[in-house]
Structure formats: C-alpha cells, structure tokens
Structure 1
Amino acid sequence: MDGPVSNVEHCNLAYAGQLELLQDRLREDRSLATRRDQDHRTALHWACSAGHTDIVHLLLGLGVPVDDKDDANWTPLHIAASAGHDEIVKALIGKDAQVNDVNQNGCTPLHYAASRNRQEIAVMLLEKGADPDATDHFESTPLHRAAAKGNLKMIQILLQYKASVNIQDSEGNTPLHLACAEERVDEAKLLVSHGASIYIENKEEKTPLKVSKDHLRQKLSQGPILNPYCCVLRTFNSTGYQERSHPLIGHRLRTVGVRYSSFFPA
C-alpha cells in the first residue's frame, strides 16, 4: 500500500515497520500505544496487518489490549490469521487473545484461516479452543469455506478437530454441497468418508449430487468410499432405470428414509 494508511503517525510507523521511530514516539508519549485512528485501529492492528513481528512484540510488551476491535469489529488476531502471519498469531495467542471473537460478518479468525488455507494458524487456533463449528452471518462454518475453496488439507485438519460435516448454511448447503458445486472430487470423497450425507437437500431441494456436474457425479457414484448405498446410485446412473422398475432400490431408499425425488427425477 502506497502512502499513509492512517491519520495518526504512530499507526503509520507500525505499518511501515519503523521500530526505532515508533519506540521514540512511545517513549515521548506512552498513551500512543493504545490511541486509535480513523478506522478505530491501534498500532497493534497495523503491525499485525503488515506482519511486523518485532513491533507486535514491542506493543504486547507494553501491555496493550490484545482484543481491541476496529470499526469493522476485526481484532488483531482476525487480521493476523487472515494475512497468514504465523508468528504473530502465536504471539497474540500467547497473550490470551480471544480465538472465538467475531467481526461484523460474524466470522472468527478460524473462518479466515480456513478460507485462505492457513494450516498452521488453524491448528494453533483450534488447539487454543477455536470452535470448528462457529457460524458466520450466512451460517457458514470454517468447513464450508475450506470445502468451497478446495483446501483438502484444511478439511482434514478441521475434521481431526471434530468439525460437524452436515451443518447447513443459510442456503441449506452443507460443506459437501459446496465441494460438489465447485467440482472438488477429493474433498467431497473425504467429507463423505467422515459422515457427510449425500441425501440432505438445500433450499432449492437439491442434494449434493444434484448440484454437481455430470462428470463429477459419475466419479462420486463409483466405488464404495461414498457410502454403503453407492451401488444403488451406480445402478441408477449407469442404466437410467426408474424407481418403479426396481422395488429393491425403492426398499433400500425407504430403509434409510431418503426421498425418491432426491435421485429419481420425474
């Protein structure tokens, strides 16, 4: 970013990484360490944004509040997690930064770590107690974000920390819906192997397989990794048979309580 980012000098110094100059200003006036600018940001926010670990340590050493929020309710931890500054996240967590604070969008730092594939940061947050099932204002969890982005390793991390696989967002989509819609084959298979349902319908009454492309649907319906009923889907996909022609299929679907319309279009 060219030019000043703030209307106060000490915040610009923090963003620019001018450690010695900032130290001089703070020696002259200690209150600058917590003074806010036009965005309600402190020097700590700006140091976290630019990734200046030395300045972060300086400010934390002065005892500045670690969870101050800017005018969009972003904490320094939100900023550092989103930007991918591992060492700064570690420093903030070491000062007991709140890992489940939400910003104006209802997002926690873990939401941003998941969508931007910040794997080490996600683990640090989860180890500190971040909620893997936290929902934002769209009712999306970090797993929704990782699935939509195709961040396979992130999905594995979230599942390791017991993220729920069948939570629906405000559109009724599960993480599996989003993975299928974005043609994420490996991610979809991983989700289903951990219990993601292929039967849940979103608000458009579409299952994950219905929102997927034809070639992806074909891949997902092959092999036993999906679920014990994948043979039913494979029979249908490969032959085009209708439910009324196959009582056994209808019986198996009734056994698990699946709506026929989910797989057999009229």
Structure 2
Amino acid sequence: MKKFFTSLRKEGEGKSPSKGSLWKAVVAHRDEIPEKAYTETCYEIDARELTEFHCAVCFEEASKVENILREDPSWLDSRDWYRRTALHLACATGRAEVVRLLIKRKCKLNLSDNKKRTALMKAVQCQEEECVTILLKALAEVDRQDAYGNTALHYAVSQQNVSIAKQLLSHGAFIDRRNKSHLTPLLLAVSRKEEEMVKFLLAFGANINAVDKLKRNAFMLAKESQSTRVLSLLQDHVDRMALGQNLDDTFAIGFNRNRIPQQISQDKEEKILENPSQISNPVVDEITEDPMFRISIKADIYGKPDTDSFSEHLDVDTKNVLPPGSTEEETTKPAGLREENGMSIIENAPREQNVMSLLL
C-alpha cells in the first residue's frame, strides 16, 4: 500500500516545502485583504429587516425621524441586526439632513458596525462627500481602523476620490497608517494603479520608503502591477528629492505655485548681482525727492521676472551716498535732468550713477 501511494506522486512533488516557506505562505494568506473589501461599498438594505425607526432614516423625511426620536429618544443609537446605527444607514444612503439631525441630537459618532466600520468610513466608501464634511466638522475620528485595518483614507484611495482624501488629511488623518497587509494608502494606490491618487499622496508627503508585509516597496508593487506611468511618477519624485527638493518643497510646487524653492531663488539672485545689465525691466516701487529707490525683482519658478517679493534681497537705500567727485548740492537733483515745455525729463545718466550705483 505504501509503495502504491508513492508511485502516484508526480515528479518534483516528493520534497516537502521548508518550514520558512510554509510560514510565509500562511502569514501572507492570513493578512491578505479580499478585493470585496474595496468593491462592496454600500449596504444591502432590506426594509423587511429594519425597524420602523431605521426605515424612516433610510426612506422617510427628516421630520419623520425627528418625531420618532421625540417620542422615544432611546432609538438614537440603536442598532439593527448588522450592528448598524441610524448614523451608519444615513451616511451610506446619503441622507445629509438626517445626518445633521442625528448629530444635533448628540448621537455617538464613532460606533462600529459588524465589520468595525464607523459612519465616516461608510460615507467615504459610498462617496457621500456632503456627509463626510458634516462628520468631520462634528469631529468624527479619522484614523479608526476596521476589521481589515483600513482607515477612511484607505477607502478614499480605493474609490479614487482625491477631494475626500484631501478633506481627511486636512482634518488630521495619518497619511502612512498601515492596514493588516501593511499597505499604507500610497502602497494601496500604487498596487491599484491609481495614478492621480499616487501623485496626490506623494505631493502631500506620503512615505515612499514604506514596505508591505512581504517587504515590497512602492517601486516593486508598481512593477508587479505593470504600470509604467506610476513608475514614472515614483521616479520623478525620487529625482526631486535628489535635487534637494524635500517633501515639503514638492508639496509647495504641486499645490502652491506662489512658493519658490530656496535654491532657485538664490541662483537667480546671484545672476542678477553678477550681471545687472540683464535686468530688462526693473520695477521702481518708490521714488522720492531724496532720492531713495527700492527695487524689487523676483524670479518665479520658471525663471520669469515677478514683482511680488524678493525685496529683502535687493533693498537699496541711496540716501546720503555721494558718487565720486560729486558735491552734496549736485546730488539733490538726479543726473541728466532737464526741463522741456515745463516737464522734467531724465536723460541717460552715467553708468556709475545708474542701476550699478544702486546695486553696489
């Protein structure tokens, strides 16, 4: 009998797997999050399984809900068969007025359903942005984790909703929270080939060096998903870091064009000081009879002149500064000044009395 079963083995199957590979397979399977966690977003609502109060929350006007609560306030945080509260159901169905009413009645914001999901998570999953806004203003917790370790931000990523993700982050959501597979929102976005979300999270400061349970980083996950566009975004981010643009600078470039990286500003300043003749159109902010000139020139991120700031670098006061060989009387009047038809006209002045004297 022993020989019979041995003969049925296929070639290469006689060796048993090592303990290490078995343990790795078991751990990977145990922590694997099923795809339905991200695709099955909305509740299956059967009116026959709901109480009168929960039916009113899902299908009736807010006034009906108000009347029931006025008669019996104990319904406020009551649960159905799936441990869903009225707030869960109202958020999942997009009933913003009912959500406001329940919050006004002081309902509990962070209760969990049978999958440990809060009402905020359901609002994010179902992309009910108005309900998300209401809950965040009411100070609902943003970093609660469900049975899979996912946060509301993970579900904003899976739904590719940048607007909701931005709201969550602006209310203090932790951008690098890991789920049970050790996937941060960025790693999740990379594995799902969500280009816009990857770009957004990188700009917002997500950790590009994070790894999942199997020690795969963002580049490895991008290669596995065969997304050349995501790989390009990741490489571009690394290149920016190598050039000295840290995460904060990257965020500024991506979301606030008015901020200039320090290195670019310094380089432009040096070029202006070395060759003042390149100043094609200096801006004179203030001219008085002293005379005192304030020149404000700024290079924007694309190398074009801008006039918003940079005055701290070129703020020159020529008061009480006499050109060589000049007397105090001569300096009270700008060089090359003549009158014609009652108007004062400034002719071309010598170089040492022109822009060069201001800069030196």
Do the two structures share a fold, i.e. TM-score over 0.5?
yes
Question: Is contact 1:17-1:47 (8 Å) kept?
Answer: no
In structure 2, relative to structure 1, the CA distance for the partners of 1:3 and 1:18 (3 Å cut) is farther
| 1:181 pairs with 2:224 | yes
Q: Return the letter of the residue paired with 1:121.
A: I
Say yes or no: does 1:9 pair with 2:42. Answer: no
Match among 23, 27, 30 for residue 73 of structure 2: 30
Corresponding position of 1:83: 126
Please report how far the alpha carbon of residue 17 of structure 1 lies from its aligned counterpart in structure 2 after TM superposition: 4.8
Higher relative contact order (CA 8 A, sep 6+): 1
* Runs of at least 5 residues in structure 2 that lack an aligned partner in the other structure: 1-43, 240-360
Name the larger-Rg structure.
2
The answer on whether the counterparts of 1:168 and 1:174 sit within 8 Å (CA) in structure 2 is yes
Identical positions, percent = 29
Partners of 1:77 and 1:97 within 8 A in 2: yes
Structure 2 residue aligned with 1:156: 199
Deviation at 1:12, TM superposition (A): 2.5
Shift of 1:6: 4.5
Deviation of 1:3 after TM superposition, in Å, equals: 3.0
The amino acid that maps onto 1:40 is R
- Structure-to-structure mapping, 1:112-131, within 5 angstroms: 112-131=155-174
Give the letter aligned to residue 130 of structure 1.
Answer: A
Tell me, in whole angstroms, the C-alpha distance in 1 between the residues paired with 2:97 and 2:180.
Answer: 34
CA distance in 1, matches of 2:204, 2:49: 39
Contact 1:107 1:135 in 2 (8 A): yes
* 2:215 alignment partner, SS class: coil
Output the CA distance in 2 between the equivalents of 1:119 and 1:29: 40
CA distance in 1, matches of 2:219, 2:65: 48
User: In the alignment, is residue 134 of structure 1 matched against residue 177 of structure 2?
Assistant: yes
Aligned to 2:84: 41
User: Does structure 1 residue 106 correspond to structure 2 residue 149?
Assistant: yes
State the 1:138 CA deviation: 0.7
Of 154-163 and 113-122, more deviation after overlay is shown by 154-163
1:219 counterpart residue number: none
| Cα offsets for 1:115-142 (capped at 9, x unmatched) | 1101111000001111111000110111
Give, in angstroms, the shift of residue 170 of structure 1. Answer: 1.0
Give the aligned partner of residue 101 of structure 2: 58
More helix by share: 1
CA distance in 1, matches of 2:130, 2:45: 25
Residue type matched to 1:118 in 2?
A: N
Q: Matches of residues 241-256 of structure 1 in structure 2 within 5 Å?
A: none
Are 1:94 and 2:137 counterparts? yes
Letter in 2 for 1:164: N
Partner Cα separation in structure 2 for residue 126 and residue 88 of structure 1 = 16
Secondary structure class of the residue paired with 2:111: coil
Query: Do 1:44 and 1:59's aligned partners in 2 also have CA atoms closer than 8 Å?
Result: yes
Report the Cα distance in structure 1 between the residues aligned to 2:102 and 2:91, rounded to whole angstroms: 11
Q: Are residue 20 (structure 1) and residue 33 (structure 2) matched?
A: no
Aligned mates of 1:124, 1:33 — CA distance in 2: 27
Matched residues in 1 for 2:216 and 2:176: separation? 14
Q: Is the 8 A contact 1:17 1:52 kept in 2?
A: no
Residues 29 and 118 of structure 1, relative CA distance in 2, 3 Å threshold: same
* TM-score when normalising by structure 2: 0.52
Runs of 4+ in 1 over 6 A off after TM superposition: none
More strand by share: 2
Per-residue deviation at 1:163? 0.6
Moved more, 6-15 or 179-188: 6-15
Q: Distance in 2 between matches of 1:7 and 1:97?
A: 25
Shift in Å at residue 4 of structure 1? 1.8
Q: Distance in 1 between matches of 2:155 and 2:219?
A: 19
State the alpha-carbon separation in 1 of the partners of residues 55 and 154 from structure 2: 28
CA contact (8 A) 1:146 1:155 kept: yes
* C-alpha distance 59-145 of structure 1, shift in aligned 2 (>3 A): same
Distance 2:58 2:74 in 1: 18
Q: 1:17 to 1:183 in 2, by over 3 A?
A: farther
Using structure 1 for the length normalisation, give the TM-score: 0.69
Question: Structure 1's 5 and 167: CA in aligned 2 closer, same or farther, altered over 3 A?
Answer: farther
Runs of at least 5 residues in structure 1 that lack an aligned partner in the other structure:
197-266
**Is structure 2 residue 235 aligned with structure 1 residue 192?**
yes
Number of equivalent positions: 196
